[in-house]
Amino acid sequence: MSELEKREMHFVTILDRGEDLLVQQHPASKCIEGHLQALKSQWSWLLQLTLCLERHLKLATDYHSFYDEIREAENWLAKRDDILNTKYSQSEFSLDQGEGLLRGMQDVREELNAFGETVAHLQHQATTIVPLKQRKQPVNRQCTVQTICPYKQGNISLEQNESCTLLDTSGRVKWRVKTAKGVEGSVHGVCLLLPPPDQEAIEAADRLKRLFDRSVALWQKKQLRLRQNMIFATIKVVKGWDFEQFLAMGAEQRTAIRRALNDDADKLLAEGDPADPQLRRLRREMDEVNRLFDEFEKRARAEEESKQASRIFTEQCISLKTRLEEMARELDHIILSPMPRDLDSLEHAVQILDDYKRRLGLLEPDLRHLQETFRTITLKTPALKKSLDNLLELWKELNTQAGLQGDRLKLLEGALAGLEDNEQVISDLEGKLSRQLELPSSQEGLYEVFKRLSAIQETISAQQPEMDKMNDSADQLGRMGVPTKVLGDLKRLHANVERLNSRWNNICGQLAERLRSVETAIGLMKNLQTSIVVEETWVEKQTEKLQALPTATSARELDTMLGEAMERAPKIEQVNLTGGRLIREAKVRRARLNRI
């Protein structure tokens, strides 16, 4: 074309010169005009031939480019098939390697998707490829051809793109055709075009499409197998987990892994052939993995519940421990408080202790609830058990110490009540005894004193159990023991009890002595009175007898009476001795009472 363009300027120059000559009416105008017409006709024919050659060249270029692209596409598919059959056909790999293979498979899939457009384009292009080889082959059957440019020669006249029937291509330059009007003639073959499609191009594109579909099917197969192997690799890793590794991942991650694993397995089972041994194996492996997940999740829930229960238990334990420790300090204060010295103070102390016991009893439901919480802990630890045991021991110790303090107060109440009551009784008895200083001189008086002393003895006998009760309470309180801080109060109580016992013993001793003295005096008084009556009777008889004797009584008779009197003297002396003993007894009693 560049050469034609160069010649076109020269051609135009020649035409201009010829036109000028014709305008100047050159003598050879007819000859010049004939040459100009011939030149224009040849130039037009040359341009048409050039146009036809350009069209054939373009179609030939498209033809060869199409087949080159077909070969390149086939090579590209072959390489992808090779990669799928080698690199992506591994059955054993780690999870990281599997992730890399899956990403690579996705890249291959994207390449195939993009290549699918190329295949579609080549299939479409195949419909535009002309049957180039057919131009060199004999016509076995009539076919349609098209004109590339207008053609007029001889009896053949064809317009551009007009269709006609090809009859023979045996001519070296011209082909024999038959126009739509039924006119047969020879036309330059370069002006004729065998219209597309080329059957070989269609077959090549279809073959490429089949190769592409086979590669896609291979990718799907390898992708399915890779996903299976990836799931098997994941299952292998999951089966290798211990419970600590399972917990370390966290609930969300564990759930995501299980969900993804089951989703992938379900998709594979839905997509694959149920008769595939690998899928049956996958189903068995997934059942085992799900059982493992269920077991671990159950243990995890139990451990989480145990941790939650442990946290609740610890919080309750701390709260209850704080309150029990406060109660312990309060009980220490109660125990170390000074011992009451009277019944009013004691009553106040008992009220304080009863209120303490009531408030301590209010903590028992919390302690039982704590024990229930501990029983709900699945994974009990020695530390939690020890905390509960310590609280139970503290609870029991507080109740024991509160009970002991209550027993102390009861014993103290017995001692203080005994001191108060016995003090009054002893004071009354001492007053009664102090009013019995003189012994009466008559037997009736002695009997009256003996009666009053016997009444006092009965009072003492009735009061003795109260004294014993007081002493027992004081002794038991001493044996129970008290804190060192209140030991002085206990000694003071014992001193008061001992002092009262001393007074009691003194009263008992005095009463016994007085009773003995009165009984002795009564006995002596009885003997004295009897002896006095006898002796006075004898003396009166002897006196009457002497008075009845005459003055001239013989000495012998008087000696007889004197002898009888002398014989009677010891008895009279005995009466005097009895009276002296009675007097001494009265004096001794007075002296003793004076000392008291």
Task: Based on the fold, state whether residues 36 and 100 are members of the same structural domain.
Answer: yes
User: Between the CA atoms of 528, 534, 536 and 538, what dihedral angle is there, to the nearest 10 degrees?
Assistant: -150
Q: Could you tell me if residue 587 is inside a domain?
A: yes
Contacts of residue 296, Cβ cutoff 8 Å, sequence gap at least 6: 241, 243, 246, 254
Query: For residue 552, what pLDDT is reported?
Result: 46
CATH number of the domain that residue 129 is part of: 2.30.30.40
- Nearest in space to 466 (alpha carbons), one of 506, 433, 511, 504: 504
Burial environment of residue 447 by CB neighbours within 10 A (0 to 12, 13 to 18, 19 or more): middle
Structural domain that includes position 555: 516-594
| Residue 255 shares a structural domain with residue 210 | no
Residue 506 domain-assigned (yes or no):
no
- The angle formed by the CA atoms of residues 427, 431 and 432, to the nearest 5 degrees, is 120
Angular region, 25: left φ>0, alpha ψ -120 to 50, beta rest = left
Residues 55, 107, single domain; the answer is: yes
* 521, 449 contact by CB (below 8 A): no
What CA–CA distance (Å, rounded) separates 287 from 301?
A: 21
Domain end point (choices 356, 380, 404): 380
Q: Is residue 491 part of a domain?
A: no
Tokens of 235: 């299952």
Domain shared by 213 and 260, yes or no: no
One domain for residues 268 and 159: no
Same domain for 376 and 345: yes
Please check whether residues 120 and 84 belong to one and the same domain: yes
pLDDT in tens, 418-456: 888 888 888 887 777 776 655 555 667 667 777 877 787
> What's the pLDDT at 18?
62
Compute the distance between CA of residue 15 and CA of residue 315 in angstroms, rounded to an integer.
117
Rg, Å, the chain Cα set: 75
Give pLDDT, residue 504: 84
Q: Where a domain ends, among 219, 254, 272?
A: 219
**Burial of 189: CB neighbours in 10 Å, binned 0-12, 13-18, 19+:** buried
- 273 phi and psi angles, rounded to 5 deg: -85, 125
Say if residue 210 is in the same domain as residue 248.
no
- Taking 70 as the pLDDT cut, the residues of the chain under it are 1-26, 28-29, 32-47, 93, 95, 140, 243, 435-443, 445-446, 518, 521-542, 544-596
Closest by Cα among 363, 357, 373, 372 to 324: 363
Per-residue pLDDT at 40: 62
DSSP 502-570: HHHHHHHHHHHHHHHHHHHHHHHHHHHHHHHHHHHHHHHHHHHHHHHS-TT--HHHHHHHHHHHHHHHH
Please state the domain count of the chain: 3
460 with 454: CB under 8 angstroms? no
Are 245 and 197 members of one domain?
no
What interhelical angle do 343-361 and 382-434 show, nearest 10? 160
pTM of the model: 0.50
Q: How far apart are CA 460 and CA 507, in angstroms?
A: 9
* Dist. CA 45–CA 584, nearest whole Å: 197
Give the model confidence (pLDDT) of 101-118 as tens digits. Answer: 878 888 888 988 998 998
